[in-house]
Chains A and B, each alone.
Chain A
Amino acid sequence: MEPSPAKGKPQGRLLVSTTLDAKDELEERLERCVGIVTSLTNGLSEREANDAITANVCKGPQQHEEVCLGLFALLLTEPPQAQRCYRDLTLVNRDGMNVILIKINQILMEKFLKLQDVCRTQLVWLVRELVKSGVIGADGVLMTLMKQIAGGDITSKNLWLAENVLDILLDQREWVLKSGMLIAMSVYTYLRLIVDHGTPALLVLRQKEVDLCIGLLREKFMECFIIGRDLVRLLQIVARIPEMELLWKDLLHNPQALSPQFTGLLQLLTARTSRKFLACRLTPDMETKLLFMTSRVRFGQQKRYQDWFQRQYLSTAESQSLRCDLIRYICGVVHPSNEVLSSDILPRWAIIGWLLTTCTSNVAASNAKLALFYDWLFFSPEKDSIMNIEPAILVMHHSMKPHPAITATLLDFMCRIIPHFFPPLEGQVRQGVFNSLTFIMEKRVLAHLAPLFDNPKLDRELRSMLRERFAEFCSSPSPPTEGRDEGANEMKMEESVSLEMDNHVLLDKEDGCYDNTEAAFSDDEEEVNNKGNKKREFRFHPIKEAVIEEPADITPYVDQLDDTMKEKVLQLQKGSDTEAHCEVMQEIVDLVLEEDFDSEQMSTLASCLAELFKGHFRGDVLPDDITEESLEESVCKPVCLVFRNLCQMQEDNSGFSVLLEMLAELYQKQPKIGYHLLYYLRASKAAMGKMSLYESFAQATALGDLHTCLMMDMKACQEDDIRLLCYLTPSIYTEFPDETLRSGELLNMIVAVIDSTQLQELMCHVMIGNLVMFRKDSVLNILIQSLEWETFEQYSAWQLFLAHSIPLETIIPILQHLKYKEHPEALSCLLLQLRREKPSGEMVKMVLSRPCHPEDQFTTSILRHWAAKHDDVLGEHIKALLIKNNNMPRKRQSLRSSSSKLAQLTLEQILEHMDNLRLNLSNTKNSFFTQTPILQALQHVQASCDEAHKMRFSDLFSLAEEYEEPSSKPPKSRRKAPASSPRSRKGTVTPVSNEEESASSSASEEEDSKPKAPKRKRKGSSAVASDSD
């Protein structure tokens, strides 16, 4: 190299630089372009200048780019000229601002930190102008700009940026609402930033941010839903802000108020967060550095890199909040290849360990732990990746020796998060954590968990808590401290002591809600017996607090009752005749309804009744032969007397609420009473038309809400009695459409347990009109949820759907979610349905949107079928799509497609599918490809696509070669079409200088073809590559 002397190096006008900094190629290039523009316009009047620029732009693509970039750079560096430059740019550019968008992206991703203040201000101004003009691709640029707002940074520069981007989003709200990804990204970004803006000085800003988020969440909830479970994480951190609190109320109790497709928190929590969002809260620089550490730095060599990173990003008090972003990023985005995993490269858990140990605030530490375990809580092996949960287990495993305190605090957190994360979902969280641990062993991340859970380095209390919650993971085939006798003995001692304590705790806590046959706490010390408990632990445990003894023993309670009541209860205990029981029961109900009944006794009474009647709750409810008599007989149990009294009472009667209270108390002790009530309301003649009583009941329970209560009862019913579940299904769906029709959860409960006979019965119910399980507005969402289910479950869901007569159009968008090999059930059902339809524009578009895969014949099969049956319709639709997509500049499309995970239609894809169809039809007599619309469209496309595509699809295009349009017009009609049309451009380019030409064209090619991420990587690796030999 021939470096010029450091002295006298002129300071560029774009970037801040010191004498130490190397020249910046991009800056130099932009300044050269400024020179070109200035020399073109120097001394000319505005009008002449305009003509001069326009004339130059027409000379060729290189001149076009130079002028655009020159104006762009002027705009950035000369605020007084900015307006004029922008106007000129809009007039002169002929690529929809593409060159500029690419350059902005490049500056944002690579140079933003070094940008001079003036340029930074101007750049934000420019983005605002682009947004105002509605330039296609401006949403992408705005998202990249948003990424530059660093988390955990309240320096004035960063605040300025946060505020200015916020203003754009607020001012251009209408435009924002058009882009789903932008909505989601804005919400994710600002929900996160709100956390940093809690100081009094920033409250005005924070209020604006809150307004933005609340507005978008309320108006476009389903757009925000695509974020996945991390949306809940962020919302939880800011839940104390009053507006957010209100939103939480709706999230929990009134999900449909947010969106009809939204069934509740669980739906969101089970949706894995897309990497895009996890990545968007790291600036490009942070991302580059973290990726470098996890891909190149060897384990043991990380210290300095960590120090440097910490110095730059984690040294202030505000920056504590950034740790969560980093941890989520490492768990969810950084997924090293197997090659890296088996090498000596710095493992992810080591970085996490570092982030945890350097955490200084308690709040930040607990948020960081939550971030680390977040994918555990609702982990499902089918949906989630082992890579997301691996760091947590490994950091615990590897810290045991060097930092047992870290392991202990994480294990403690893991135990406590189960009941505390969200009590109503405790069962699911437990299941999620169990799933995680099971999967971790299955995947051999760790072969045994016992050495981790039952390690003498942990204190006694923690170990007993672990044993209590994770009994089946605590036993190992060989004792963990094998070979160290002393240690082993000591451990045994500790164990026996702690177990005694356990029993006391367990007596209060143990929850055996649906099956009372075994008392878990008695067997804990024996590993063998632990196995027997396994089933229990995996089950759904919605409500705690049930107290269980073996024979009906009400002695602890009965003395607390007053004398009359006590007498009745004892009568119940003695008698064995159902009829007599019923009579006594009626008397008890009457006592309860008396005015002087002391409501404090309700709970005790309920305990007695639950205990006495526990026999009724075992075994099947539904008679084997369903006849009027048998049904009537089945609802004559003493418990049903409470139900009957309730049915007979007016709702405004004061006794009504007393009875509800009684049932609610009973429900606490005996959750099965919920579905028994449903059964009673369905089966008993006395209850005809009173199904809605169940809603009153649900509201009176501790759950307090119909949806949750119904789901739990149906779940309990599913576990106990599948026939009853099927029997209840039609009335549940009919009576509570708002709760059921949008609930994928309920449908899954049903299809998960029914057999084919029951399926067929349900289908008949549907066709007869007794049962409606799907509605237009929610069916799509449910079918999408069903993609995660077992094969038979999915087929059943589809059969049930097909039994309804909902137009196929409604669910066509599901195609975007269907991946080849991952979703064969849905694909085959859909294929068979599509072939019965006449293709609509939407159908063709969706079918063509499928990514091309050599083995995936879905699109070809259906196109072939349509080409044979509806060739004219299909032809017109394809033509429309080809022309539409052809007019959309491809480059911008690639910019945007990187921001959406759904399959998107690209021109290339259409052509590829067409080509497959052509090959498939080649030996048939089908004349699909001779139709005029197809030929027109092919010509149209061929005229404007690039050489690579022409080559690739030459056979396809050759079909249209001989076709001549009646009145042919130039392929692309734009101003100065002859000069700028891609064809003629080729010949006329006269390079100004070879060096420039090759440099700029190669640069622009690279920029065009590569989206952001690879570019960043390229930057990282180029610095690295230079030292590699």
Chain B
Amino acid sequence: MTTETHVKDIKPGLKNLNVIFIVLETGRVTKTKDGHEVRTCKVADKTGSISISVWDEVGGLIQTGDIIRLTKGYASVFKGCLTLYTGRGGELLKIGEFCMVYSEVPNFSEPNPEYSNMDQMKNKTVRGNDTTNGNGVNSQGSGSSTTPPQGGRAGSGVGSRANNPGGTTVNGKETRRSTKR
């Protein structure tokens, strides 16, 4: 379980991921309704780059150039883009800075129509059975979500986003928060 996954091998639905990466960009902060901060950061290792969604305090501490080890992360598709999250019991730990080679391309978080399709399919299955979700997170957040169909699965936000573009971030974030609890 200590083996690290390379960015290029991250596929939607994979869980329990350990990844070591260097932070290239930290995105703007968005706030969820209930006050959580969420940031999307671009990170990379030598095989490529990917976006990671970081929540709350930790997000504020991350700086570009940090070398971070993600444990128990999972990947899913958000707005058609492959995105990395910290799963339950997982964490982000800074283990160094600067001294890591990376490749910015390919960017595995580039919008991918295939994923959109997959997402929609997944959305359906997810809705059917929350507990078997590949992310290893239980959704209990449906109550707090403004768009109930999303069902709290981080990766499943895409389907609903199409209907409700304005609220997607909130949704995605909300869902994750709730999973952590």
Contacts and interface: CB of A to CB of B under 8 A. Distances in A.
Interface of B: 1-2, 4, 18, 20, 24, 45-46, 57-58, 61-62, 64-69, 71-72, 89-104
Interface stretch (A652-660, A883-891, A1021-1029): A1021-1029
30 contacts: A1-B1, A1-B2, A1-B69, A3-B90, A3-B91, A3-B93, A5-B89, A6-B91, A6-B92, A19-B57, A20-B58, A20-B61, A20-B93, A20-B94, A21-B93, A22-B93, A292-B99, A298-B101, A301-B101, A301-B103, A304-B24, A304-B64, A304-B65, A308-B64, A308-B65, A1020-B99, A1023-B99, A1024-B100, A1024-B101, A1027-B45
B98 A289 contact: yes
A404 B164 CA distance: 53
B71 A288 contact: no
A305 B46 CA distance: 15
Nearest to A20: B61
A18 interface: yes
Contact of B98 (A18, A21, A308, A1027): A308
A1027 B46 contact: yes
A501 B44 CA distance: 58
Interface string A280-323: 00000000110010001110010011011100000000000000
B62 A20 contact: yes
Nearest to A7: B91
A1027 B1 contact: no
A1020 B18 CA distance: 21
Contact of A296 (B18, B66, B96, B101): B101
A332 B89 CA distance: 49
A557 to B, nearest CB: 69
Given A6-B58, A20-B58, A1024 B91 contact: no
Given A20-B61, A288-B98, 19 more contacts: A1-B18, A1-B71, A5-B89, A6-B92, A18-B61, A20-B62, A20-B68, A21-B94, A296-B99, A297-B101, A304-B24, A304-B64, A305-B65, A308-B97, A1020-B99, A1023-B95, A1023-B99, A1027-B45, A1027-B101
Contacts of B68: 20
Interface string A331-373: 0000000000000000000000000000000000000000000
Contacts of B93: 3, 6, 20-22
Contact of A19 (B58, B65, B90, B103): B58
Interface string A1-43: 1010110000000000011111000000000000000000000
A289 B94 contact: no
Contacts, number: 76
Contacts of A292: 98-99
Contacts of A18: 61
Given A5-B89, A22-B94, A1020-B99, A1026 B20 contact: yes
B92 A20 contact: yes
B61 A19 contact: yes
Contact of A1023 (B4, B57, B72, B100): B100
A1 B20 CA distance: 12
A-B pairs with the 3 shortest C-beta distances? Answer: A308-B65, A22-B93, A1023-B96
Nearest to B86: A6
B98 to A, nearest CB: 5
Nearest to B61: A20
A3 B71 contact: yes
A305 B22 CA distance: 11
Interface residues on A, range: 20 to 34
Nearest to B1: A1
A96 to B, nearest CB: 33
Interface of A: 1, 3, 5-6, 18-22, 288-289, 292, 296-298, 301, 304-305, 307-309, 1020, 1023-1024, 1026-1028
A289 B99 contact: yes
Contacts of A6: 58, 91-93
Nearest to B95: A22
A947 B64 CA distance: 48
A20 to B, nearest CB: 4
A1027 B100 contact: yes
A309 B99 CA distance: 11
A5 B91 contact: yes
Q: Which of A1, A298, A301 has the most CB of B within 10 A?
A: A1
A46 B83 CA distance: 60
B4 to A, nearest CB: 8
Contacts of A22: 69, 93-95
Given A21-B93, A21-B94, A22-B93, A1027 B58 contact: no
Contacts of B92: 6, 20
A2 to B, nearest CB: 8
B122 to A, nearest CB: 28
A305 B24 CA distance: 10
Nearest to A305: B98
Contacts of A1: 1-2, 18, 69, 71
A307 B64 CA distance: 10
A1023 B21 CA distance: 11
B61 to A, nearest CB: 4
Contacts of A1020: 99
Contacts of A309: 98
Contacts of A5: 89, 91
B60 to A, nearest CB: 9
A1024 B66 CA distance: 13
Given A1-B2, A5-B89, A304-B24, A1024 B99 contact: yes
A1027 B61 CA distance: 22
Nearest to B25: A304
A6 B92 CA distance: 8
A1027 B7 CA distance: 11
Contacts of B89: 5
Nearest to A1028: B46
A20 B86 CA distance: 13
A19 B68 CA distance: 12
A69 to B, nearest CB: 23
Nearest to B71: A3
Nearest to B70: A3
A307 B4 CA distance: 28
A6 B70 CA distance: 12
A851 to B, nearest CB: 33
A947 B159 CA distance: 70
A1020 B95 CA distance: 12
B72 to A, nearest CB: 8
B37 to A, nearest CB: 14
A1027 B62 CA distance: 19
Nearest to B57: A19
A1029 to B, nearest CB: 9
A819 to B, nearest CB: 35
Contacts of B95: 22, 1023
A307 B22 CA distance: 14
A670 to B, nearest CB: 62
A543 B167 CA distance: 81
A3 B65 CA distance: 22
B88 to A, nearest CB: 10
A659 B65 CA distance: 73
A297 B93 CA distance: 24
A311 to B, nearest CB: 8
Contacts of B18: 1
A5 B104 CA distance: 30
Contacts of B2: 1
A1024 B102 CA distance: 10
Contacts of A20: 58, 61-62, 66, 68, 92-94
B25 to A, nearest CB: 9
A6 B91 CA distance: 7
Contacts of B64: 304, 307-308
Nearest to A22: B93
A1026 B18 CA distance: 13
B107 to A, nearest CB: 14
Q: Which of A5, A20, A1028 has the most CB of B within 10 A?
A: A20
Q: Which of B72, B92, B93, B99 has the most CB of A within 10 A?
A: B99
